Amino acid sequence: MAFEIHYSAAPQNQSEPGSINNCTIPEAAEFNESSTNNLQKRVFDGPRDRIIWLGKFISRNSQWLSQREHSESERRARSTQFRFPTEGGTAMGVRAMFDYTAIIIISRIGVSLSIIPEVPVFKDRQNIERDDRTFYRLGFGALRRQVNRRYGLGLQDLREPGHLLAAEHGPQVFIFTPRGPGAVLRWQRKIDQLSRNLHDLFGQPPEVIGYIVRPRQQSYGVQPTPSTPYAAWGARAIVEVNVNDDIMYVPPAENDTVDRIWLGRWKLWLEDTVIREEIFCPYT
């Protein structure tokens, strides 16, 4: 399901040849100065207001992944995937990030969301840290093969040619994991192991982002209040996508018509902060 997103700022004009995520930009290509991303149809008071609105959209369309909906006995590593629409925008994300580690992988055609709960993957219910072999089996190993297909394909299958995370679609990998005191990751050694596993599968090191663990009782609700200041925007990571962010016009060859190429844009949010934003060629 799609919604309209119209950005107030368009990508900068480029007069030199180059490429945007494997989308070749011819030397004489021009960006449309009056494309739809210059139309401000929805006004937000700020990034937090925008994240609250995106969260409501994701909830209406059941595009969250979290362990919040599962009992403690059902907690396990799991993934789900979403393909981008052919036009317009969409959003998906992970929420209730109070202790688990999330893996978000964004390609030019869609997004894979994965979660690895702290218990029972990083430690058992007696608070004893898992050994490396058990951590691999319950964590990355489970995501790689994902036996329960109601959650989608495993990461290994998604890497196959033509699939969502195939090399030709330029997937980028992000790990969100709890921070301990200061900037130290709570599970640094195990996150290093997980990073190596993902590097081996995707051929590039993932970007690791440590997040602040918000108090649960202050994070639930539909709007922030004095007693729930993080409600509706805290403890979540969201991918926001617009596949029609701008138009690039390519001058025609002799006796030919002007070619028009849509450029998409995705934004990766951690709470109310954009931590990565990229322009891409959808479905190339």
- pLDDT for 180 equals 83
Residue 41 lies in a domain: no
Q: Which two tokens stand for residue 284?
A: 């190339």
* 181 preceded by a cis bond (ω within 30 of 0): no
| pLDDT over 70, % of the chain | 78
pTM for the model: 0.85
Q: How many domains does the chain have?
A: 1
The count of other CB atoms within 10 Å of the CB of residue 149 is 9
Q: 142 with 76: CB under 8 angstroms?
A: yes
200 touches 169 (CB < 8 A)? no
Handedness of CA 242, 245, 250, 252 (dihedral sign): positive
What would the pLDDT profile of 207-217 be if each residue is shown by its tens digit?
Answer: 999 999 999 99
Q: Specify the range with the lowest mean pLDDT, choosing from 74-78, 204-208, 238-242.
A: 74-78
Q: What is the pLDDT of residues 65-97, one digit of tens each?
A: 987 655 565 688 999 999 999 888 999 999 999
Q: pLDDT digits over 134-154, tens only?
A: 999 999 999 999 766 666 789
Q: How many Å apart are CA 199 and CA 13, to the nearest integer?
A: 34
At 78 the pLDDT is: 93
Asked if residue 116 is part of any domain, the answer here is yes
**Model pLDDT, residue 284:** 59
- Residue 149 is assigned to a structural domain of this protein: yes
Domain hosting residue 212, numbered range: 46-244+265-280
Give a yes or no: residue 198 inside a domain.
yes
With CA atoms as reference, report the closest residue to 115 among 140, 148, 145. 140
Does 256 map to a domain? Answer: no
Is 103 within a domain?
A: yes
Q: Let me know: does 115 contact 175? Beta carbons within 8 Å.
A: no
Which pLDDT does position 184 carry in this prediction?
Answer: 93
Structural domain includes residue 251:
no
Higher pLDDT, 253 or 245: 245
Q: Is residue 223 part of a domain?
A: yes
